[in-house]
Structure 1
Amino acid sequence: MRRKLFFWELGGFLFTGALGTLLHFVYEWSGGSALAAWFSAVNESTWEHMKLLFVPLFLFSVVQICLLGRNYPNLLAVRALSVLTGVALIPVLFYTYTGILGRNINWVDISIFFAADLAAFALDFALLRRGKLSGRWMQILGLAVLWGLAFCFVWCTFRPVYLPLWRDPVTGIYGIP
Protein backbone atom coordinates (compact mmCIF):
# COMPACT_ATOMS: atom_id res chain seq x y z
CA MET A 1 0.00 0.00 0.00
CA ARG A 2 2.83 2.40 0.86
CA ARG A 3 4.59 1.72 -2.44
CA LYS A 4 1.38 2.32 -4.40
CA LEU A 5 0.88 5.62 -2.57
CA PHE A 6 4.45 6.65 -3.33
CA PHE A 7 3.90 6.15 -7.05
CA TRP A 8 0.61 8.04 -6.90
CA GLU A 9 2.33 10.96 -5.21
CA LEU A 10 5.26 10.84 -7.63
CA GLY A 11 2.80 10.83 -10.51
CA GLY A 12 1.00 13.78 -8.94
CA PHE A 13 4.25 15.70 -8.60
CA LEU A 14 5.15 15.07 -12.25
CA PHE A 15 1.61 15.82 -13.48
CA THR A 16 1.46 19.06 -11.50
CA GLY A 17 4.88 20.17 -12.69
CA ALA A 18 4.14 19.41 -16.35
CA LEU A 19 0.61 20.83 -16.44
CA GLY A 20 1.57 23.87 -14.36
CA THR A 21 4.34 24.63 -16.83
CA LEU A 22 1.94 24.35 -19.77
CA LEU A 23 -0.68 26.49 -18.05
CA HIS A 24 1.84 29.32 -17.91
CA PHE A 25 1.28 29.74 -21.67
CA VAL A 26 -2.34 28.65 -22.26
CA TYR A 27 -3.93 32.08 -21.82
CA GLU A 28 -1.61 33.61 -24.38
CA TRP A 29 -2.00 30.64 -26.76
CA SER A 30 -5.79 30.96 -26.51
CA GLY A 31 -5.67 34.57 -27.68
CA GLY A 32 -6.79 35.85 -24.29
CA SER A 33 -9.82 33.61 -23.85
CA ALA A 34 -11.88 34.34 -20.73
CA LEU A 35 -12.36 30.59 -20.29
CA ALA A 36 -8.58 30.02 -20.32
CA ALA A 37 -8.22 32.77 -17.70
CA TRP A 38 -10.17 30.62 -15.25
CA PHE A 39 -7.39 28.05 -15.00
CA SER A 40 -4.20 29.49 -16.53
CA ALA A 41 -1.94 32.42 -15.74
CA VAL A 42 -3.08 35.70 -17.30
CA ASN A 43 0.00 37.68 -16.28
CA GLU A 44 3.32 37.36 -14.46
CA SER A 45 2.04 38.18 -10.96
CA THR A 46 2.92 35.95 -8.05
CA TRP A 47 -0.79 35.20 -7.59
CA GLU A 48 -1.10 33.82 -11.11
CA HIS A 49 1.98 31.65 -10.53
CA MET A 50 0.35 30.28 -7.41
CA LYS A 51 -2.62 29.35 -9.61
CA LEU A 52 -0.24 27.35 -11.83
CA LEU A 53 0.43 25.06 -8.87
CA PHE A 54 -3.13 25.01 -7.55
CA VAL A 55 -5.01 24.06 -10.72
CA PRO A 56 -3.09 20.85 -11.54
CA LEU A 57 -3.05 19.89 -7.85
CA PHE A 58 -6.82 20.38 -7.70
CA LEU A 59 -7.41 18.34 -10.86
CA PHE A 60 -5.13 15.56 -9.66
CA SER A 61 -6.98 15.60 -6.33
CA VAL A 62 -10.30 14.94 -8.05
CA VAL A 63 -8.85 11.90 -9.82
CA GLN A 64 -7.07 10.67 -6.71
CA ILE A 65 -10.17 11.04 -4.54
CA CYS A 66 -12.23 9.06 -7.05
CA LEU A 67 -9.68 6.26 -7.30
CA LEU A 68 -8.10 6.17 -3.81
CA GLY A 69 -10.60 7.88 -1.54
CA ARG A 70 -11.78 4.70 0.15
CA ASN A 71 -8.23 3.64 0.97
CA TYR A 72 -7.35 7.05 2.44
CA PRO A 73 -10.26 8.49 4.41
CA ASN A 74 -8.05 11.46 5.32
CA LEU A 75 -7.35 12.45 1.68
CA LEU A 76 -9.41 15.65 1.55
CA ALA A 77 -8.01 17.20 4.71
CA VAL A 78 -4.45 16.15 3.91
CA ARG A 79 -4.68 17.45 0.35
CA ALA A 80 -6.08 20.77 1.53
CA LEU A 81 -3.15 21.17 3.93
CA SER A 82 -0.57 20.16 1.33
CA VAL A 83 -2.11 22.48 -1.29
CA LEU A 84 -2.06 25.37 1.17
CA THR A 85 1.57 24.59 1.97
CA GLY A 86 2.65 24.42 -1.67
CA VAL A 87 0.73 27.52 -2.68
CA ALA A 88 2.06 29.49 0.31
CA LEU A 89 5.66 28.49 -0.39
CA ILE A 90 5.64 30.27 -3.75
CA PRO A 91 5.25 33.83 -2.41
CA VAL A 92 7.26 33.13 0.74
CA LEU A 93 10.28 31.85 -1.18
CA PHE A 94 9.93 34.36 -4.04
CA TYR A 95 9.64 37.46 -1.85
CA THR A 96 12.36 36.23 0.49
CA TYR A 97 15.00 35.72 -2.16
CA THR A 98 14.03 38.80 -4.20
CA GLY A 99 14.04 40.85 -1.02
CA ILE A 100 17.58 39.69 -0.30
CA LEU A 101 18.90 40.05 -3.86
CA GLY A 102 16.80 43.01 -4.93
CA ARG A 103 15.83 41.31 -8.19
CA ASN A 104 14.44 38.06 -9.49
CA ILE A 105 16.22 35.35 -11.48
CA ASN A 106 14.11 33.28 -13.86
CA TRP A 107 15.72 29.91 -13.13
CA VAL A 108 15.21 30.49 -9.38
CA ASP A 109 11.55 31.36 -9.99
CA ILE A 110 11.10 28.11 -11.92
CA SER A 111 12.92 26.19 -9.18
CA ILE A 112 10.57 27.68 -6.58
CA PHE A 113 7.57 26.36 -8.50
CA PHE A 114 9.00 22.83 -8.56
CA ALA A 115 10.13 23.05 -4.92
CA ALA A 116 6.60 24.05 -3.89
CA ASP A 117 5.21 21.17 -5.98
CA LEU A 118 7.62 18.73 -4.32
CA ALA A 119 6.88 20.06 -0.84
CA ALA A 120 3.13 19.69 -1.37
CA PHE A 121 3.40 16.06 -2.44
CA ALA A 122 6.03 15.17 0.17
CA LEU A 123 3.77 16.51 2.93
CA ASP A 124 0.83 14.76 1.33
CA PHE A 125 2.66 11.43 1.29
CA ALA A 126 3.80 11.74 4.91
CA LEU A 127 0.36 12.63 6.25
CA LEU A 128 -1.58 10.13 4.15
CA ARG A 129 0.76 7.34 5.16
CA ARG A 130 0.32 8.11 8.85
CA GLY A 131 -3.46 8.48 8.65
CA LYS A 132 -3.38 12.00 10.09
CA LEU A 133 -6.38 14.36 9.84
CA SER A 134 -8.93 11.60 9.29
CA GLY A 135 -11.92 12.94 11.21
CA ARG A 136 -15.15 13.55 9.33
CA TRP A 137 -15.15 17.28 10.07
CA MET A 138 -11.57 17.48 8.88
CA GLN A 139 -12.67 16.05 5.53
CA ILE A 140 -15.52 18.55 5.25
CA LEU A 141 -13.13 21.37 6.12
CA GLY A 142 -10.61 20.03 3.56
CA LEU A 143 -13.26 19.99 0.85
CA ALA A 144 -14.33 23.53 1.76
CA VAL A 145 -10.72 24.75 1.64
CA LEU A 146 -10.08 23.19 -1.78
CA TRP A 147 -13.27 24.61 -3.32
CA GLY A 148 -12.72 27.94 -1.55
CA LEU A 149 -9.26 28.22 -3.06
CA ALA A 150 -10.62 27.30 -6.48
CA PHE A 151 -13.15 30.10 -6.17
CA CYS A 152 -10.51 32.59 -4.98
CA PHE A 153 -8.15 31.83 -7.86
CA VAL A 154 -10.88 32.39 -10.43
CA TRP A 155 -12.42 35.40 -8.69
CA CYS A 156 -9.10 37.19 -8.14
CA THR A 157 -8.11 36.72 -11.76
CA PHE A 158 -11.14 38.76 -12.81
CA ARG A 159 -11.29 40.98 -9.72
CA PRO A 160 -7.71 41.25 -8.45
CA VAL A 161 -6.81 42.76 -5.12
CA TYR A 162 -4.64 45.83 -5.58
CA LEU A 163 -1.68 44.56 -3.59
CA PRO A 164 1.79 43.52 -4.81
CA LEU A 165 0.87 39.80 -4.85
CA TRP A 166 -1.57 40.48 -7.70
CA ARG A 167 0.57 43.03 -9.60
CA ASP A 168 2.28 41.95 -12.81
CA PRO A 169 5.90 43.13 -12.37
CA VAL A 170 6.41 43.30 -16.15
CA THR A 171 3.41 45.44 -17.12
CA GLY A 172 2.40 46.87 -13.74
CA ILE A 173 -1.23 45.84 -14.25
CA TYR A 174 -3.52 43.76 -12.06
CA GLY A 175 -5.56 40.85 -13.38
CA ILE A 176 -6.39 40.35 -17.04
CA PRO A 177 -4.46 42.61 -19.42
Structure 2
Amino acid sequence: MSKKVFLWEFVGLIGVVILWYILHISYKNTGIMSLTLFSAVNESIWEHVKIAFFSLFALYVVEAFFISRYCKNFWYGKMIGLLAVIITSLLIFYALSGVNLPFYVVDIIAGIAGFIVAQIISYRVLISEVNHSQYERVYISMVILLIIPFFVFTFYPIKTDLFKDISANAYGIFFK
Protein backbone atom coordinates (compact mmCIF):
# COMPACT_ATOMS: atom_id res chain seq x y z
CA MET A 1 0.00 0.00 0.00
CA SER A 2 2.92 2.36 0.60
CA LYS A 3 3.58 2.33 -3.16
CA LYS A 4 0.07 3.63 -3.83
CA VAL A 5 0.50 6.33 -1.19
CA PHE A 6 3.93 7.25 -2.59
CA LEU A 7 2.48 7.55 -6.09
CA TRP A 8 -0.27 9.87 -4.85
CA GLU A 9 2.24 12.01 -2.98
CA PHE A 10 4.66 12.21 -5.93
CA VAL A 11 2.11 12.82 -8.70
CA GLY A 12 0.23 15.13 -6.36
CA LEU A 13 3.35 17.26 -6.11
CA ILE A 14 3.13 18.03 -9.82
CA GLY A 15 -0.55 18.89 -9.55
CA VAL A 16 0.13 21.13 -6.57
CA VAL A 17 2.73 23.16 -8.47
CA ILE A 18 0.29 23.64 -11.38
CA LEU A 19 -2.53 24.68 -9.03
CA TRP A 20 -0.12 27.01 -7.21
CA TYR A 21 0.49 28.85 -10.48
CA ILE A 22 -3.23 29.00 -11.24
CA LEU A 23 -3.99 30.40 -7.78
CA HIS A 24 -1.24 32.95 -8.28
CA ILE A 25 -2.87 34.48 -11.35
CA SER A 26 -6.59 33.68 -11.02
CA TYR A 27 -7.76 36.72 -9.02
CA LYS A 28 -5.48 39.14 -10.85
CA ASN A 29 -6.71 37.92 -14.24
CA THR A 30 -10.41 37.63 -13.40
CA GLY A 31 -11.15 40.05 -10.57
CA ILE A 32 -13.67 37.55 -9.16
CA MET A 33 -13.95 38.41 -5.46
CA SER A 34 -14.73 34.87 -4.28
CA LEU A 35 -11.30 33.82 -5.56
CA THR A 36 -9.61 36.15 -3.06
CA LEU A 37 -10.06 33.58 -0.31
CA PHE A 38 -7.81 31.07 -2.07
CA SER A 39 -5.85 33.08 -4.64
CA ALA A 40 -3.11 35.65 -4.32
CA VAL A 41 -4.49 39.18 -4.09
CA ASN A 42 -1.07 40.82 -4.26
CA GLU A 43 2.63 39.94 -4.37
CA SER A 44 3.25 39.85 -0.61
CA ILE A 45 5.05 36.98 1.05
CA TRP A 46 1.87 36.15 2.97
CA GLU A 47 -0.16 35.73 -0.22
CA HIS A 48 2.46 33.39 -1.66
CA VAL A 49 2.32 31.26 1.48
CA LYS A 50 -1.50 31.33 1.27
CA ILE A 51 -1.57 29.95 -2.27
CA ALA A 52 1.00 27.30 -1.35
CA PHE A 53 -1.17 26.26 1.59
CA PHE A 54 -4.38 26.08 -0.45
CA SER A 55 -2.72 24.25 -3.33
CA LEU A 56 -1.57 21.56 -0.93
CA PHE A 57 -4.89 21.59 0.93
CA ALA A 58 -6.75 20.93 -2.34
CA LEU A 59 -4.55 17.90 -3.00
CA TYR A 60 -5.15 16.61 0.50
CA VAL A 61 -8.93 16.91 0.13
CA VAL A 62 -8.76 14.86 -3.08
CA GLU A 63 -6.45 12.33 -1.42
CA ALA A 64 -8.93 11.98 1.45
CA PHE A 65 -11.35 10.30 -0.97
CA PHE A 66 -8.77 7.96 -2.48
CA ILE A 67 -6.14 6.99 0.07
CA SER A 68 -7.30 7.99 3.56
CA ARG A 69 -8.83 4.55 4.14
CA TYR A 70 -5.38 3.00 3.68
CA CYS A 71 -3.62 5.37 6.08
CA LYS A 72 -4.43 5.32 9.77
CA ASN A 73 -2.63 8.65 10.22
CA PHE A 74 -4.12 10.47 7.24
CA TRP A 75 -5.27 13.74 8.82
CA TYR A 76 -2.32 13.83 11.20
CA GLY A 77 0.07 13.50 8.26
CA LYS A 78 -1.77 16.11 6.26
CA MET A 79 -1.89 18.58 9.14
CA ILE A 80 1.87 18.17 9.57
CA GLY A 81 2.30 18.60 5.80
CA LEU A 82 0.34 21.87 5.84
CA LEU A 83 2.41 23.19 8.74
CA ALA A 84 5.57 22.10 6.94
CA VAL A 85 4.74 23.98 3.73
CA ILE A 86 4.09 27.18 5.72
CA ILE A 87 7.23 26.94 7.84
CA THR A 88 9.56 25.70 5.09
CA SER A 89 8.38 28.29 2.56
CA LEU A 90 8.87 31.13 5.01
CA LEU A 91 12.26 29.90 6.24
CA ILE A 92 13.64 29.41 2.74
CA PHE A 93 12.17 32.67 1.49
CA TYR A 94 13.79 34.67 4.28
CA ALA A 95 17.04 32.70 4.05
CA LEU A 96 17.30 33.44 0.32
CA SER A 97 16.10 37.03 0.49
CA GLY A 98 19.64 38.09 1.38
CA VAL A 99 20.93 36.50 -1.82
CA ASN A 100 20.91 38.67 -4.90
CA LEU A 101 18.08 36.87 -6.71
CA PRO A 102 14.88 38.31 -8.17
CA PHE A 103 11.83 38.06 -5.89
CA TYR A 104 10.01 35.64 -8.20
CA VAL A 105 12.98 33.23 -8.25
CA VAL A 106 13.19 33.19 -4.46
CA ASP A 107 9.42 32.71 -4.29
CA ILE A 108 9.48 29.76 -6.71
CA ILE A 109 12.39 28.09 -4.90
CA ALA A 110 10.75 28.58 -1.50
CA GLY A 111 7.37 27.32 -2.69
CA ILE A 112 8.63 24.21 -4.46
CA ALA A 113 10.97 23.38 -1.58
CA GLY A 114 8.04 23.82 0.81
CA PHE A 115 5.93 21.41 -1.25
CA ILE A 116 8.70 18.82 -1.40
CA VAL A 117 9.35 18.95 2.34
CA ALA A 118 5.61 18.82 3.09
CA GLN A 119 5.09 15.80 0.85
CA ILE A 120 8.08 13.93 2.27
CA ILE A 121 6.99 14.53 5.85
CA SER A 122 3.38 13.71 5.05
CA TYR A 123 4.37 10.48 3.33
CA ARG A 124 6.55 9.40 6.25
CA VAL A 125 3.67 9.97 8.66
CA LEU A 126 1.15 8.21 6.39
CA ILE A 127 3.21 5.01 6.22
CA SER A 128 4.25 5.12 9.87
CA GLU A 129 3.26 2.23 12.12
CA VAL A 130 2.58 4.63 14.98
CA ASN A 131 -1.15 5.17 15.22
CA HIS A 132 -2.33 8.76 15.77
CA SER A 133 -5.85 8.20 14.43
CA GLN A 134 -7.53 8.46 17.84
CA TYR A 135 -7.10 12.23 17.59
CA GLU A 136 -8.39 12.54 14.02
CA ARG A 137 -11.04 15.14 14.92
CA VAL A 138 -8.40 17.24 16.63
CA TYR A 139 -6.22 17.16 13.51
CA ILE A 140 -9.13 18.09 11.24
CA SER A 141 -9.99 20.96 13.62
CA MET A 142 -6.38 22.14 13.54
CA VAL A 143 -6.42 22.17 9.73
CA ILE A 144 -9.58 24.29 9.83
CA LEU A 145 -7.91 26.63 12.33
CA LEU A 146 -4.97 27.01 9.94
CA ILE A 147 -7.37 28.20 7.22
CA ILE A 148 -8.94 31.02 9.24
CA PRO A 149 -5.92 33.39 9.32
CA PHE A 150 -5.54 33.13 5.54
CA PHE A 151 -9.14 34.28 5.06
CA VAL A 152 -8.95 37.03 7.69
CA PHE A 153 -5.59 38.49 6.65
CA THR A 154 -6.63 38.61 3.00
CA PHE A 155 -9.08 41.37 3.92
CA TYR A 156 -7.42 42.74 7.08
CA PRO A 157 -3.65 42.41 6.66
CA ILE A 158 -1.33 43.46 9.44
CA LYS A 159 0.90 46.36 8.42
CA THR A 160 4.18 44.43 8.47
CA ASP A 161 6.58 43.37 5.73
CA LEU A 162 5.09 39.87 5.66
CA PHE A 163 1.83 41.31 4.29
CA LYS A 164 3.28 44.11 2.18
CA ASP A 165 3.37 43.98 -1.59
CA ILE A 166 6.74 45.65 -2.13
CA SER A 167 6.12 46.27 -5.84
CA ALA A 168 2.89 48.20 -5.16
CA ASN A 169 3.91 49.52 -1.73
CA ALA A 170 0.49 48.44 -0.43
CA TYR A 171 -1.27 45.84 1.68
CA GLY A 172 -4.22 43.54 1.06
CA ILE A 173 -6.59 43.53 -1.88
CA PHE A 174 -6.22 46.07 -4.65
CA PHE A 175 -9.77 46.64 -5.78
CA LYS A 176 -10.32 47.01 -9.50
Compute the TM-score of the two structures, normalised by the length of structure 2. Answer: 0.91
Aligned length: 174
> Residues 103 and 44 from structure 1, CA distance in 2 versus in 1: closer, same or farther, beyond 3 angstroms?
same
Q: Distance in 1 between matches of 2:33 and 2:122?
A: 32
Deviations 1:109-134 (A, max 9, x none): 21211111111101111111114462
Deviates further, 125-134 or 77-86: 125-134
- 1:14, 1:122 → 2: CA distance? 14
Work out the CA distance in 1 between the residues paired with 2:90 and 2:112: 13
Corresponding residue of 1:112: 110
Distance 1:118 1:101 in 2: 21
Pick which of 63-72 and 5-14 moved more.
63-72
Is this contact kept in 2: 1:81–1:142, CA < 8 A?
Answer: no
Q: Tell me what 1:44 maps to.
A: 43
Cα distance in structure 2, aligned partners of 1:161 and 1:54: 19
CA–CA distance in 1 between the matches of 2:118 and 2:18? 15
Cα deviation 1:45-73 (Å, max 9, x = unaligned): 11100111111211111111122222112
Aligned counterpart, 1:126: 124
Deviation for aligned residue 1:95:
1.3
Residue in 1 that maps onto 2:166: 169
Name whichever of 154-163 and 105-114 sits farther off: 105-114
The whole-number CA distance in structure 2 between the counterparts of 1:23 and 1:42 is 10
Do the aligned partners of 2:76 and 2:125 also contact (CA within 8 Å) in 1? Answer: no
Q: Distance in 2 between matches of 1:133 and 1:65?
A: 17
Gapped runs of 5+ residues in structure 1?
none
Matched-pair contact (CA < 8 Å) for 2:43–2:165: yes
Scaled by the length of structure 1, what TM-score is found? 0.91
User: 1:101 is paired with a residue of what secondary structure?
Assistant: coil
Aligned to 1:67: 66
Choose which of 139, 143, 160 in structure 2 pairs with 1:142. 139
Cα pair 1:78 1:133 within 8 Å, conserved? no
The alignment-based identity, stated in percent, is: 28
**Aligned residue among 139, 157, 160 for 2:157:** 160
